[in-house]
Structure 1
Amino acid sequence: MAITIHKFAQWKQEGRPIAVLTAWDFLSAQMVDAAGADLVLVGDSLAMPVLGYETTLPLTLEEILHHAKAVRRGVKQALMVVDLPFLSYQVSPQAAMLAAGRALKETGAQAVKLEGGYEAIATTIAFLVQAGIPVMGHVGLTPQSYHQFGGFRQQGKSDDEAERILAEAIALEKAGAFSIVLEHIPAKLAQQISQTLTIPTIGIGAGPFCDGQVLVTSDVWGLSDWQPPFAKTYVNLRQQAIEAAQQFCEDVRTQTFP
């Protein structure tokens, strides 16, 4: 049976860790779903390793919907969530409704994810949830605020920042988010948030105390030529793929293939 958002609250109560991976096309979706991921995220992170942008900011709604449609065809069991890209939801709750509605209607995703926890975002999340659209929150390092943060720097290191991020997480839960991503914050803060909330937290670079963990799948597979310091590479497919392609080129030139 396919996983629904209701499983996540149950798993938190049971202490059952939640495994989340990203996907960006049919093949990657098939593989992470077959691997047993609980949630497959079509993240705006695909902007960099898949589309070659320097940040997530240039990614458009049309681009991520295109990829999400392909991912949907490959996912059979996991919950599928689509990131709403920069400027598709910040302008107004109504704009967010149109973007989120398209994500669910056109791709078959079961939920969307929004970055940020300030008052306007919490209001927008409440607006979407009231309309029947499940929403995952995201606080801490929010990549769409790259310029405001001055890069991909860890957030929540000062007492003031930690208090702000905790307050944002609480506000998102009250708004109706079914889960919250905690990105690149101190482990102690992530633990405090996880213990405070009744909804599950999914950490990325946030230590071992979250209710689940997410990594960008291209980092897990070693496909990218750069990855954040908190990521873990389980296999170097990039080098293996280059070597295989080199061997093919050599075989063609030496006429050993076909």
Structure 2
Amino acid sequence: MMSKQQDQSDSHQSEGLNLSHFSMWRAVVALVHVDGKVTDEEKAVIHRMTANLNLSTAQRITLDQDLEHGIVLEKVLDHITDHRDFSQLVKTAKSIFMADHEFDESEQETFNFLKREFARRFPAYGEQYEVRGHGGLADYTRGVGPGTGVSSVFSLFRHPLIRYVLMGAITMALLYSVLMRRLSGLKPDSIGDLCPVNMSEPVCQAMMRSVFSQCQVPGVSGQNVDADELKKCITKAKAQFIRNNQ
């Protein structure tokens, strides 16, 4: 009886992810090719994100091939049929695009495109990623290089929700940059992502403010600080915030 249950468990493990969730991860891999180059930092982020996924052998081989050779984004978007998977794709895109510490025009266009697509495909949930401007898949010719068909960035400021999101993003970027400067010689990616990919933006902002308030260190700009102590402080502050808000 025990052996039969074990066989069933092993069989379940070998099935891998369902099509929607697996397609989301293929789309994540496609994002690293948007700017026409794949850096070691981006590869490391992909490997870290997918290391513990319940992938079948065939699915893992497919992701490795996608990472090595690239994949057309629109090829997999239609297979993401669960709004939770598409939402996770939008949130994960931020981490992917910032893995090489750059956020160029093609990546910004792709990020806006994903938010528009989420709103179009899942209108009942789309307000959280609402972006003004038109442009479906036909307007976005995705190759391995810059995108096309993005509306004027200035039109974003006309929408109160977008103004709120942008101001929140600016606040997060400022806090993040200050924390990074305080880390001195410590590599930024060695402390991991400050916010989990499934954390909402308002909660993430609150956590960053909490971390920043607890981990301030004296000194002038450019002065070296104890990177290990600061890393411990950030890790402890994050854990405390998450415990207090569970």
- Please report the TM-score for the alignment, with normalisation by the length of structure 2: 0.28
Higher helix share: 2
What TM-score comes out, normalization by structure 1 length? 0.27
- When Rg is computed on C-alpha atoms for both structures, the one with the higher figure is 2
Q: Which has the higher strand share?
A: 1
